[in-house]
Amino acid sequence: MKETDFIEKNKKKWHEFEKLSKNKSKDPDKLSELFVELTEDLSYAKTFYPKRSVRVYLNYLAQQIFISFNKTKKSFLSTFLLFWKRNLPLEMYRSRKQLLIAFLFFVVAVLIGAVSSYIDPEFARVILGDYYVDMTIDNINNGDPMAVYKQQAEGTMFLDITINNIRVAIIAFIMGIFFSAGTAFVLVGNGFMVGAFQYFFYTKGLFLTSFLTIWIHGTFEISVIIIAGAGGIVMGNGLLFPKTLTRTQSLQIHARRGINILLGTVPIFIVAGFLEGYVTRHTEMPDAIKWFIILGSLSFILYYFVFYPLILGRRLDKENRIEEKPVHVENKPLKKYTIRDFSHLFYDTFRFYKLYVGKFGSVIVSVILPLTLLYLWYLYQYSPYSDYMMSEGEVAELTFNGQFTFTWIGFAANVLFFSINIATVTHCITNINSINTGGYLRRWVKEIWPYLLKTIPLVMLVFAFLMYMPTWVLLLSVFIAPFVVLIFYPAISGEFKFGKGISKGLSYGGKEWGMTFISFLMMALLAYIFSWSYHNPWINELDIKTAMIDVIVDWHTITVFDNYLTIKNFISSVLIILVVQFLLPLLIAAFGFQFMSIHDKEEALGLKKRFEAFGTRNNLFENKDGK
């Protein structure tokens, strides 16, 4: 191609890029797209017009944007504001149909709950429970029908309600993995309760009283349960309707979209918990104030989650910048150093888990499990607590060497088991995309020792802290978690010296406290919810242990062994350790990717690597040096 033809063909694109790069309110997606095309043009110009001005001009553009990116590092605040101002509203626009479906499921369930209560007055007892109905009747007879909101201290109620509401939202989202039907089940269940509750008070002549009380907090609470349900339906639809994608690709895309929606509900649940803990209890408030809070809450929900997304989405749709779903997703290698927002952090974490579970899983099964069996054999030989049917909490206390069952052998064993796991996952992340598909154990035996020796002292410090600190200190320590979780990867991986890695982790923990703290809570909560597949503490007989494992163990132990209770407890300990060991890599990977994201933001490592590759893309015409 002649130089003049090359310029004529691409000059419009270059001018657009130059103009966009100088604009303070630049669109990062469009800029990134043009930047990639510019690097290809620069590579072409270096090959065919190495001494012409067009190469100098393109090189200048690339240098300017590199300098701009390197100097302008996104702060947590700017990322946070971008999420609320643009990313979440656009996701709500893309998911408007799913939001409508979730709303209709809930509203229809409310109506069914009310009609069922009208047909059968005992329906409220079936849905709400005898205890709650009897307690409410007593409160009505005592002249304070809403006394249930005054039973706890304000602060305690705020924390309990907020945690419970977030739990319900996450369940509504996670259940979407069952092809959206699970989410529909959660929404319908909550709708039945609301319908039965409101009709119950209607029969007592207290409909308006109950309405103006519960919807002070319920407007936010119920709305965001529906919104979280929309996120679950988005994820479930990814499995149901993959279209041109594979089901795995479709699930990954839609799960990331659903997580964005779920994250957007958390702050509103906190506000709802605050209202329920501190405001709803004041039933003596004038009705005008109650109406103001309810209508103000409803106005915010409708504007931010419905009308603003429609305004923003339709405006960007006119510019062809909204895509429901890409027609193809390339399976690119996982990158260590790249800037990640919340959704990309979760996406990369679960993708890493999927790709490498066979590797660290082989270590868990071949190394940690045999050592665990040896340790548990010793533990149950000499433990005075194993000769009766222990609860799951007691089994966990004994297995993980809790404060009431502490021994130094148990301390050493647990430190070793957790250290092996953490070191193995860190080894996989450090050598990401360079570990062969087979024979990992042989490589692991040769290379794991530097990782393990650095991991053991860190794990010992964490365990010692957990053992000896009072409960209130442990609760407060959640807020310093970012400083702790970010030191593991840089200290262990070998990319930094041990002391420098700890220093880096502590520094980044301070700079990116907010995002790391939220990521820590979300990943820990997700790991906890995944553990429910083994033992569900909230819904009896809806887990593998109760429905299957306990039955099989009882069949093979009760009539065979005199000490069958000890054997059953032993098996529970083994399974708990395996569940924890297979969930731990999720947390370690998330914190490793979080550190690398912050490090890339601080040092621009990914961008420097791309910049060094300028002119080296066309292997047909260029040598390694790009000449």
Hey, what long-range contacts does 499-507 have (CB within 8 A, 24 or more apart)?
504/595, 504/599, 505/595
Residue 487, both tokens:
């030191």
Share of residues in the chain with pLDDT > 90 (%): 28
The pLDDT score that the predictor gives to residue 291 is 94
Which is higher by pLDDT, 51 or 390? 390
Across the chain, mean pLDDT equals 81
The pLDDT score that the predictor gives to residue 244 is 72
Share of residues in the chain with pLDDT > 70 (%): 83
pLDDT, tens digit (0-9, with 9 covering 90-100), for 167-190: 788 878 887 877 788 788 889 888
The single residue listed with the structure tokens 């643009």 is 86
First-to-last alpha carbon distance for the chain, in angstroms, is 19
Which is higher by pLDDT, 124 or 54? 124
Q: Return the domain boundaries, the chain.
A: 3-72, 83-318, 342-606
Which is higher by pLDDT, 166 or 309? 309
The whole-angstrom separation of Cα 398 and Cα 407 is 10
Highest mean pLDDT among 198-207, 321-330, 388-397: 198-207
286 Rama sector, left if φ>0, alpha if ψ -120 to 50, beta otherwise: beta
Q: Are 200 and 128 a contacting pair, CB within 8 Å?
A: yes
The pLDDT score that the predictor gives to residue 57 is 76
Which is higher by pLDDT, 99 or 147? 99
Residue 483 Cα distances to 476, 498, 507, 588, angstroms? 13, 15, 8, 14
Average pLDDT over residues 605-620: 53
The pLDDT score that the predictor gives to residue 146 is 85
Q: Are 22 and 69 a contacting pair, CB within 8 Å?
A: no
Which is higher by pLDDT, 603 or 548? 603
Residue 268 has, within 13 A of its CA and on its CB side, a CA count of 24
Which DSSP state fits 149?
Answer: G
Least confident residue range of 79-93, 206-220, 251-265, 560-574: 560-574
Least confident residue range of 242-251, 400-409, 542-551: 542-551
